[in-house]
Amino acid sequence: MAGPGPSGASGDATYAGLVRPLLLPTWAVVGILMVLPVCLMAVYSFLTKEFRGGVIWDFTLAAYDQFFITRGLFGDEPARIEWTYIGIFWRSIWQAGLATLLCLFIGFPTAWFIATRPARSRGVWLFLITIPYWVNLLIRTVSLKFLIRETGPLNESLMAIGLIDTPLPLVNTNLAVQLGLFYSYLPFMVLPIYAAVERYNFALSEAAADLYASRLATLREVVLPVVKPGIVAGCILVFVPSLGAFLAPDLLGGAKTFMLGSLIDEQFKGSQGNWPFGAAVAMILMTLVMTVLILYARAQARGARR
Amino acid sequence: MKGVRHYPGFLAMTIICLVVLYAPLAVVAVYSFNGSTSITQWGGVSLRWYGDVFTGPEAGRFGQAAWNSLTIALIASTAATAIATAAALAMIRGGVFRGRQASFALINLPLMVPEIVIAVSTLIFFSTIGLTTGYLTILLAHLTFCIPFAYLPIAARLEGIEGHYEQAARDLYATRAQAFRLILLPLMMPGIVSGWLLAFIISLDDFIITNFVKGAGMETLPTAIFGSVKQGIKPNIMAISTLMLGVSVLFVTAAYLINRKGQKTP
């Protein structure tokens, strides 16, 4: 899915002598503008905040301390666990997890359906799934908000057909954020599962059917184990960006639906900001994401050896 | 044998999937043609909000933002495509070399680090080296995250081109530069064009990173739209959104068609 991997080197080595100059721009740009900044961010998370936004170069653990521990409003009480930020952290995880499950629930049947179409129409179906991914996420989120707001078309039409009497208060709830995440990343679930199902050998299903396996049993015992890599890839592609999502919680949610992305954003806005704390939260988010990705890479390597 | 491929309800799920993906966009597109000043009441079909986008009170602000967005996307995607093309040549035609794994990871790094983390770290970096946030910082940030999007289609295309063509050219005494310019580059073109188109769209659409590194007073189209939406969704925003929607669909369709046409020739 992610294009040619490191193993994809062809025997052709016409440009072997030019490898260094050809890769130099990539190394320079990504190295200076991404690797270096992330390292710098790690350093910033251990610095002291300055009150107008910005930092003082004194090393301290204050930012991480603030995330996990509280000593009361005036800092003179005994240290206790600070639940506010851990709560936001936890909410991000379960919102992302739930969005992943929801995407899987809708995405798997869709991917299966598309992969079992005749080869000619498959491309068109797939294209329909891809288009929304390339449409500006901001515009998509605003559109969703427009649709589900209190006086929006969804509530109006539900009331018109008499299904509800009063508008559903959808905006500013966890449900709206959930819906936003689901809607934002749904194509990410369909595409890798599609790639896996397309390679699936349907003779396996036929063999299972011949042996009197029910449809459901065939799906569970035969299909799922084979297409599992696609499902896992899809889940990661939805879960990881959902964790750090900013637009869905910011536009569709409110103060009670805060997620890590909004918490980080807040630290860099205006004079109320706290750069080291923002850097620390970003570090915590990145650690979580990298853990997921490393576990995934390991599982993949194990699968490849088998 | 249709039986084992068919699961009841899967078509229904597919329809739900497409409705979820398209309903909000369709609703906004329809309401952008609303003739009424209210976003709730339907006042007949009209193009007044499209007129408002170009001549209304916010036209200057959005015009400037659109200009910034387009020029940044143009420069960033072109530079990223050049960098990605060079990288693809090394990765696919460079044989086995030291640092290949690391280079691969580096090219794809912008896809793996969460966007908000890229945003924060880039802002911290620019602030530390004393570069004032503005047009240049947006451009540099965009250039970086555009690289993997340009790389993927180019590398995929290059992998599908067999070495014989260049070999034949070299056998006929073409220099390596000639073999590249006259043989390999034209063959790679569909991949390069679709890589460029995708990078362009990704740059045009970015909000989170731009919002961090844009500095005060500097706007791109997405940040200008975000600023307006914070005051409430107005009809002119729906017209702008629909226009941007159209541009995205146009570009992606072009990338798709060029890629498909490319696959038919060698």
pLDDT in tens, chain B (266 residues): 457 788 888 999 999 999 989 999 998 888 888 877 777 777 777 788 888 888 877 888 889 999 999 999 999 999 999 999 999 999 998 888 888 989 999 998 988 889 999 999 999 999 999 888 899 999 999 999 999 999 988 998 898 888 888 888 888 988 888 889 998 999 999 889 989 988 998 899 899 999 999 988 899 999 999 998 888 888 888 899 999 889 888 888 888 888 777 665 54
Angstroms from B142 CA to nearest CA on chain A: 10
- Pick from A34, A251, A37, A245: nearest CA to B114: A245
| B158 alpha carbon, distance to own chain's centre | 21
Q: B144 CB near a chain A CB, below 8 Å?
A: yes
pLDDT of residue A5: 44
- Closest residue of chain B to A136, computed from CA coordinates: B205
> Do B89 and B158 touch, CB atoms closer than 8 A?
yes
Tracing tokens 């900001």 back to the chain, one arrives at A273
> Do A106 and B20 touch, CB atoms closer than 8 A?
yes
Q: A118 CB near a chain B CB, below 8 Å?
A: no
pLDDT of residue A50: 81
Q: A237 CB near a chain B CB, below 8 Å?
A: no
Question: Nearest 5°: CA angle at B250, between B248 and B256?
Answer: 100
Angstroms from A264 CA to nearest CA on chain B: 8
CB within 8 Å: B13 and A110: yes
Domains of chain A and CATH, by start? 89-305 (1.10.3720.10)
CB within 8 Å: A286 and B113: yes
> Do A104 and A86 touch, CB atoms closer than 8 A?
no
- Tell me the one-letter amino acid at B218: M
Angstroms from B76 CA to nearest CA on chain A: 12
Q: Which two tokens stand for residue A24?
A: 């130099």
For A270, residues 6+ apart whose C-beta sits below 8 A from its C-beta are A53
pLDDT of residue B2: 52
Question: Nearest 5°: CA angle at B141, between B139 and B144?
Answer: 110
pLDDT of residue A77: 79
**pLDDT higher than 50, residue A166:** yes
Tell me how far apart the alpha carbons of residues A46 and A103 are, in angstroms, rounded to a whole number: 37
CB within 8 Å: A138 and B222: yes
> Do A231 and A196 touch, CB atoms closer than 8 A?
yes
Sign of CA dihedral B11, B15, B16, B18: positive
User: What interhelical angle do A83-115 and A224-243 show, nearest 10?
Assistant: 140
Instruction: Return the minimum-mean-pLDDT range out of A61-65, A216-220, B41-45.
Output: B41-45
Question: Nearest 5°: CA angle at B150, between B185 and A295?
Answer: 130
- Pick from A141, A142, A114, A119: nearest CA to A129: A114
As for the ipTM of the complex, it is 0.86
3-class secondary structure, A56: strand
Tell me how far apart the alpha carbons of residues B68 and B72 are, in angstroms, rounded to a whole number: 6
Angstroms from A71 CA to nearest CA on chain B: 28
pLDDT of residue A144: 92
DSSP annotation of A152: S
Q: B233 CB near a chain A CB, below 8 Å?
A: yes
Q: Which two tokens stand for residue B190?
A: 């569909």
Phi (first) and psi of residue A164, to 5 degrees:
-135, 155
Pick A279's closest partner by Cβ from B90, B120, B249.
Answer: B120
Q: B19 CB near a chain A CB, below 8 Å?
A: no
- Tell me the one-letter amino acid at A128: L
Tell me how far apart the alpha carbons of residues A158 and A169 are, in angstroms, rounded to a whole number: 13
pLDDT of residue A52: 67
Q: Which two tokens stand for residue A71?
A: 């000593």
pLDDT of residue A177: 93
Beta strands in A104-188 (DSSP E): none
Structure confidence by residue, pLDDT tens digits, A253-279: 877 788 999 899 988 887 678 889 999
pLDDT of residue B64: 92
Angstroms from B25 CA to nearest CA on chain A: 6
> Do A137 and A180 touch, CB atoms closer than 8 A?
no
> Do B207 and B226 touch, CB atoms closer than 8 A?
yes
Predicted TM-score of the model (pTM): 0.87
**pLDDT higher than 80, residue A2:** no
Which residues pair with residue A49 across a beta bridge? A55
For the segment A11-27, the average pLDDT, to the nearest whole number, is: 86
Q: Which residues of B234-265 are buried (b: 16+ CB within 10 A; e: fewer)?
A: bbbbbbbbbbbbebbbebbeebbebbeebeee
Which DSSP string corresponds to chain B?
A: --GGG--TTHHHHHHHHHHHHHHHHHHHHHHTTB-SSSSSS---B--HHHHHHHHSTTHHHHHHHHHHHHHHHHHHHHHHHHHHHHHHHHHHHS-S-TTHHHHHHHHHHHHHS-HHHHHHHHHHHHHHHTPPSSHHHHHHHHHHHHHHHHHHHHHHHHHTS-THHHHHHHHTT--HHHIIIIIIHHHHHHHHHHHHHHHHHHHHH--HHHHHHS-TT---HHHHHHHHHTT---HHHHHHHHHHHHHHHHHHHHHHHHHHHHHH--
Q: Which residues of B touch A5 (CB under 8 A)?
A: 104
**pLDDT higher than 60, residue A226:** yes
**pLDDT higher than 90, residue A33:** yes
> Do A236 and A85 touch, CB atoms closer than 8 A?
no
For the segment A122-145, the average pLDDT, to the nearest whole number, is: 89
Q: A219 CB near a chain B CB, below 8 Å?
A: yes
Structure confidence by residue, pLDDT tens digits, B57-93: 788 888 999 999 999 999 999 999 999 999 999 999 8
Which residues pair with residue A80 across a beta bridge? A70
CB within 8 Å: A282 and B233: no
Pick B10's closest partner by Cβ from A22, A109, A132.
Answer: A109
Q: A36 CB near a chain B CB, below 8 Å?
A: yes
Stretch (H or E) spanning A24: helix A19-30
Q: A116 CB near a chain B CB, below 8 Å?
A: yes
Question: 3-state DSSP helix/strand/coil percent for chain A, to nearest 5?
Answer: 70, 5, 25
Of all residues in chain A, the percent with pLDDT exceeding 70 is 95
CB within 8 Å: B94 and A145: no
DSSP annotation of A271: T
| B82 alpha carbon, distance to own chain's centre | 15
CB within 8 Å: B116 and A282: yes
Residues 47-76 of chain B with CB under 8 A from chain A are none
Residues 161-180 of chain A with CB under 8 A from chain B are none
Structure confidence by residue, pLDDT tens digits, A80-108: 888 888 889 999 999 999 999 999 999 99
For the segment A52-56, the average pLDDT, to the nearest whole number, is: 75
